[in-house]
Amino acid sequence: MSLKCNPFHEKPECELLAGTNKVFVAKDSGAISEYRLENPNQRWVVKLKVDGCLIPSDSQKKCDFLFLACEKEGGKTAYFVELKGGNLGDAIEQIQSAIEILYPKLTDFSFRCRIVQTKTPPMRIINQKKEALLSFLKKTKFAVNVKNSKITDLIQIQSTPHKETI
């Protein structure tokens, strides 16, 4: 199942964890930010390192992690995750850049974008970047969630597309 769920199998060093664990966690060492993907139905999930691995270039913006959740019946969801201090504008650009770079291998996935921040930036920056991201997302099939300190997602089987707003 891992090869079918992980279109980046040619880079096995980027696969941090794969399996049907009930919880998958993304956290930078020493950081407060944490992303948790709860998996009560034990779908196959692959946790990938994006920054410095799937996208190794220092000159390209990218998010920190990518979680791929797959159903036996073929439903697939990609969770782009950025753990950030306070610069939400940069986080949005990192998510958008990672999507643009990795999208060709993820065409059969639905998308969720997750930004976990520990500080709140000025509203002016948030609104400018948010509008740019929402404009980009309207052209695609992505959903975004921005929270302070911690985000927990629950993997659920859905028969209709799930839409979220920032």
pLDDT for res 157:
44
Confidence of residue 158 (pLDDT cuts 50, 70, 90): very low
In a domain, 66, yes or no: yes
Full-model pTM: 0.77
Question: Which domain covers residue 109, as residue numbers?
Answer: 2-154
Sign, CA dihedral 126-131-132-138, equals positive
Evaluate whether residue 73 is within a structural domain. yes
Q: Where are the beta strands (DSSP E) in the chain?
A: 15-19, 23-26, 34-38, 44-49, 65-70, 76-84, 110-117, 142-148, 150-154
Domain count, the chain: 1
Reported as a single tens digit per residue, the pLDDT across 18-42 is 999 999 999 877 777 889 999 998 9
pLDDT digits (tens, 9 = 90+) for 48-90: 999 999 999 889 999 999 999 998 777 899 999 999 877 777 8
109 pLDDT more than 70:
yes
Q: Answer whether residue 161 is part of any domain.
A: no
Q: What pLDDT, in 10s, does the model give residues 117-139? A: 877 655 555 566 666 666 666 65
E strands, 118-162, are: 142-148, 150-154
CA–CA separation, 71 and 88 (whole Å):
32
Residue 164 lies in a domain: no
Reported confidence tier of residue 102, pLDDT bands at 50, 70, 90 = very high
Residue 162 in any domain: the answer is: no
Residue written as token pair 């799930």: 162
Let me know if residue 34 belongs to a domain.
Answer: yes
CA 83 to chain centre: 10
pLDDT at 91: 84
Task: Report the candidate in 67, 84, 85, 65 with the shortest Cα–Cα distance to residue 76.
Answer: 67
Position 16 in a domain: yes
Whether residue 165 lies inside any domain: the answer is no
